[in-house]
Amino acid sequence: MGPGRLVTLAAAGITGLAGGLLAAPARAEQDRLDRRVQIGDTVEDVQLATLGGGRDRLLAKGIKANVFVFFRPEQERSLDTLKELASCEKEFAGKPVRFVGVVSDSWPADQVRDLVREAGTRMPVLVDEGDALYGALGIRLHPVIGIVDARRKLAAFEPFRQINYCERVKVRIRFLLGEVSEAEIARVDEPARSTTRTDDGVARRHLNFARMLHRIKQEDKALEEIQKSLAIAPSAAALALQGEILAATGKCPEALLAFEGALKIEPANPVALDGRKSCGR
C-alpha cells in the first residue's frame, strides 16, 4: 500500500464519520485488517460456474459499475439484500450496471435456486468452488456487496446494514455512473438529523399565526404573536408585518421603527419598503 492511498483511505475514514458524536478511529487501518482487497485495489476477474449450469465472469466489460453480492441461504439478511438488489436491478435497467451474485458451492443448488426465486432477482449467480473467491477477496461476512468501477478498481465494499443499506449501495452506483457527487454519498452516509421542532420553525409558527389573526382583524393578538416570534428569532418578515399592523392602526411612528428594523435585516423587503412609503417616508 502506497502512502498516497493511505492518505486517501484515512481521509475517507475521517469524512465518513465527520459530524458524528465520536472522533473517528483509524478507519482505514480497520478496513485494511478486515479484508484483503481494499478500496482502490484492482479486482481480478474470474470465470466461475453458474447456478444455471454455464459459466460466467465476475466482472463484465464495458460496464461502469459491476456489483457483486456474496450471499448464502438460510440467512434472512441475504434474502433481504437480494430482494433489495432485485429492485435495484429494475431501477438501473438500461444503464451500464451489472449485478452478479456469488454463493459458496457448499450449499445445495436447489436451496440457492429457491432463495434466488424468492428474492425475485434475475442476476446471474456464480458458484464459488471451495470458497476460493471468498478467500481471495478476504471477505468474512454475508451478505456483502462489492462495487467495481470501469477500471476494475474496488469502489465500494458494503457489509449488511439494517438501516439505509439500499440507499448506501445505490448512491455509490450512481456516483460511478456520474449521476451524483461525493457530497451526495456523504449526505447518505451521514443523513441530516430529522427533528421537527426547531427555533426557526416555532418562530415561523408564531408569525404565521399572527398573519391569520391579522386576517380576521385581531390586531392586538397578532402583535402579541409577532413579539413571541421576534423573541425566538428576529426576522425581516416579522418586523415588516408588525409595521404593517401598526401602520394600519394609525401608529406610524412605531410602524416606521419596525419597518426600519426589517430593512436592516433585509434591505429589499417589499412590505417594509411599501409600508415606509405609506407612513410618509
Partner 1 sequence: MNEQLKIVARLFLVGAVLLASRTPAAPLKTEVKKAALRRGAAVAPLPRDKASRSHAPYESGQCGVCHVNNDAANPGPIRHASVNEECYECHDDVRDVMARKYKHVPAEEACTDCHNAHNSAEPALLSQEMVELCLKCHAGIKNQIAKGKVQHDAITKDKKCSNCHNPHAANIERLLIALPFDLCVTCHSRDGMMSDDGKVMTNYKKWLEENKVWHDPVRAKDCSACHRTHAGDNFRLLVADYPAAFYAPYERKAYALCYGCHNDKVVAVEETTTLTGFRDGSRNLHFVHVNRERGRTCRACHEVHASKQDHHIRESVPYGKSGWQLKVGYTKLPNGGSCAKTCHDTKTYNNKTLTSSVPAKK
Residues that bind partner 1 (CB under 8 A): 17, 20-23, 25-27, 30, 33-34, 72, 75-77, 79-80, 104, 106, 118, 130-132, 134-136, 140-142, 159-164, 167, 190-196, 198, 200-202, 204-205, 208-209, 212-213, 216, 218, 221
Residue 27 CB, shortest distance to partner 1, in Å, is 7
Shortest distance, position 192 Cβ to partner 1, whole Å: 6
Q: Which CB, 31 or 266, lies closer to partner 1?
A: 31
Supply the minimum distance, in Å, between the C-beta of residue 99 and partner 1. 21
Closer to partner 1 by CB, 40 or 159: give it: 159
Angle at alpha carbon of residue 266, lines to 265 and 270, rounded to 5°: 140
Specify the residue, 52 or 135, whose C-beta has the smaller distance to partner 1.
135
Report in angstroms the alpha-carbon separations of 168 from 3, 12, 186.
Answer: 27, 15, 10
User: Measured between alpha carbons, how far is 258 from 52 in angstroms, rounded to an integer?
Assistant: 76
Residue linked to cell 471468498: 134
Residue type, 95: K
Coil vs helix vs strand at 124 = coil
Alpha carbons within 13 A on the beta-carbon side of 232: 17
**Dist. CA 15–CA 19, nearest whole Å:** 9
Of 33 and 268, which has the nearer Cβ to partner 1? 33
- Supply the minimum distance, in Å, between the C-beta of residue 196 and partner 1: 5
